[in-house]
Amino acid sequence: MYASPALNRLLSECADAVAAVRAGRSLTEVLAGVPPGARPGVQALAFHVMRWMGGADVVRQVLAPRTPPPRVESLLVTGIALLWPDADPPYPEHTLVDQAVTAARERTPAAAAFVNAVLRRFLRERTALVSKAQQDLTGAWNHPAWWVERLRKDWPSQWQQHLKLANLHPPMTLRVNARRQTAAGYLRLLQGQGQQAQLLQDPAFGGHAVQLSRPCPVDRLPGFAQGWASVQDAAAQRAAPLLLSGGALGSPLPVGARVLDACAAPGGKTAHLLEAADLDLTALDSDPQRLVRVRESLARLGLNAKLQVADARQTARWWDGKPFDAILLDAPCSASGIVRRHPDARWLRRPQDIVQLARTQDELLQALWPLLKPGGRMVYATCSVFMAEGQDRIDAFLQRPQAASALLDAASPGHLPPLLDNPPVPPGSPASVSGDGFYYALIHRLP
């Protein structure tokens, strides 16, 4: 066990994380370098700041028109975001200001009085400053303006709900390892520990999805180290059942079917496939470090797959020439559908990234389709709510000459926005089972 550091130390570490994200680094990467004892507290504060940074940044520009040095600016943005009136501040106002000033005194002593003056002025004029910030698109929705405009174009009747829900805490959903436990049995284990949970009944999730009423550390989950369960959002748990069942046009994959998981890391969908069926599965990823995570996950769950470091597009470098019965292409994307879980994603992406990612998605579809045997199937998936990374890509693919043998299955879920009225939720189920935003297409190759 680690002693919780003083708040001023957490604020200082959080400000460093904010500065790193603003410089283009992933928050996940930054948090990995935070001392273990401080990491939970820093993560909670940093996630909070990421969700309210749009408004905080607009206010900072009003209160300090001349941009301060990065270490001072990031501390100011951190303090303002944590003091935002609608954001359920994690500490009393006077405590936050006092500890932010203490952090400034340790980080940049000459700026301590300046930080104190800015934060106290924000508290005095908060109503007017927040109102002014909300006249700005980024300040109003706490997302980059281009992101808001893209959502408004793609989801004209739902874009505001998208943006509001993106700042809520996501549910914690588990996938029970069918080779070790039944979902009902695992639910009883959770309840025996006093943890409230429910089994998600929709068969699209595969029958092994359990949602907790409150998130908890994984070391408090029964049998986690022994591979009894994994953390995986309900929307992500749709991939394996869709590929294995074959939708409306196919039949279940036979035992020993040759399957490719083309962009496998971090391995949740790879593991789900192997938990549900006996397959000859190859898991590819271009990042060797991320593939290590796949190997570790499979080892914990008692599963095996052929792991290979490779760019899936460069088939001549890794494919052995034997066609696959099924391919899962969970393509690299903007992560716009999982921004609840990764609130830094909105600040890391740029409009041109979507163009480049769409190009990569097209290249993956074109490279992998010929590897599918006649009568085989492919599931194309992205954790994105942008049409450019979902329906637009499949529409473009199906118009190419090489897709003459392709047939889109009517059972394809299509775009699944992370909204509380998500259609796949069966009648009578709690609305809270809303999953992350995903796109799924099931495509068959004609015999």
pLDDT value of position 88: 72
Indicate whether 248 pLDDT > 70. Answer: yes
Class of residue 69 by CB neighbours under 10 A (exposed 0-12, middle 13-18, buried 19+): exposed
Q: Is 383 a catalytic residue?
A: yes
Does the pTM of the predicted model rise above 0.85?
Answer: yes
Indicate whether 435 pLDDT > 90. Answer: no
Element (H, E) at 104: helix 93-107
pLDDT by residue (tens digit) across 56-67?
999 999 999 999
Task: Single out the catalytic residue among 14, 263, 333, 383.
Answer: 383
pLDDT value of position 9: 96
% pLDDT > 90, the chain: 91
Q: Where does the pLDDT of residue 86 fall: very low under 50, low under 70, confident under 90, or very high at 90 and above? A: confident
Contacts of 185 (CB under 8 A, 6+ apart): none
pLDDT value of position 309: 97
pLDDT value of position 202: 87
CB 251 within 8 A of CB 277: no
CB 22 within 8 A of CB 347: yes
Mean pLDDT score, 137-149:
97
pLDDT value of position 430: 38
pLDDT value of position 431: 38
pLDDT value of position 17: 98
CB atoms within 10 A of CB 310: 16
Q: Where does the pLDDT of residue 420 fall: very low under 50, low under 70, confident under 90, or very high at 90 and above? A: low
Indicate whether 2 pLDDT > 50. Answer: no
List the domains of the chain with CATH numbers: 7-140 (1.10.940.10), 172-231 (3.30.70.1170), 236-445 (3.40.50.150)
pLDDT value of position 5: 79
Indicate whether 368 pLDDT > 60. Answer: yes
Taking the C-alpha atoms of residue 3 and residue 77, their distance in angstroms, rounded to an integer, is 27
pLDDT value of position 87: 64
Mean pLDDT score, 40-47:
96
% pLDDT > 70, the chain: 95
pLDDT by residue (tens digit) across 161-204?
999 999 988 899 999 999 999 999 999 999 999 999 999 988 89
Token pair, residue 341, equals 């879980």
